[in-house]
Amino acid sequence: MFDFLMYLKVFLIGGAICMLGQVLVITTQMTSARILVTFLLLGVFLECVGAFEPMKAFAGSGVTVPIMGFGYSLAKGAIEAGQSQGLLGIFTGGLAAAAGGIAIAVTMAFLVSLIFNSKTKK
């Protein structure tokens, strides 16, 4: 069944996260790359302190789709693999958990590069 309130909640939470990123772009001297890394590390931090799961339960893909969700996936994979496989799992678990998203991103970037002719910014 169509759950309008869940869609609204996901949209508002995800939009608020993206709005926060835009506010950082406009009001600070931070580069886009630094903002990206800040959000990624925020996702890692929230997973490490156990705050990301309740946020995910409340907002669903509103928090997992932005870059914070990628940091969460990396941290969760590293934690789980570290517990089951030891030291090697810490290094391999994050990439194994996020491999699907990474593969899609690389594939789509390649396909878009075939369609469009990119130019350097002047």
Tokens standing for residue 109: 């970037």
Predicted confidence (pLDDT) per residue in 27-64, tens digit: 999 988 999 999 999 999 999 999 999 999 998 888 98
Radius of gyration of the chain (CA): 17
Average pLDDT, the chain: 89
pTM as predicted? 0.77
Where residue 17 falls among pLDDT bands split at 50, 70, 90? very high
Q: What integer pLDDT is reported at residue 46 of this predicted model?
A: 93
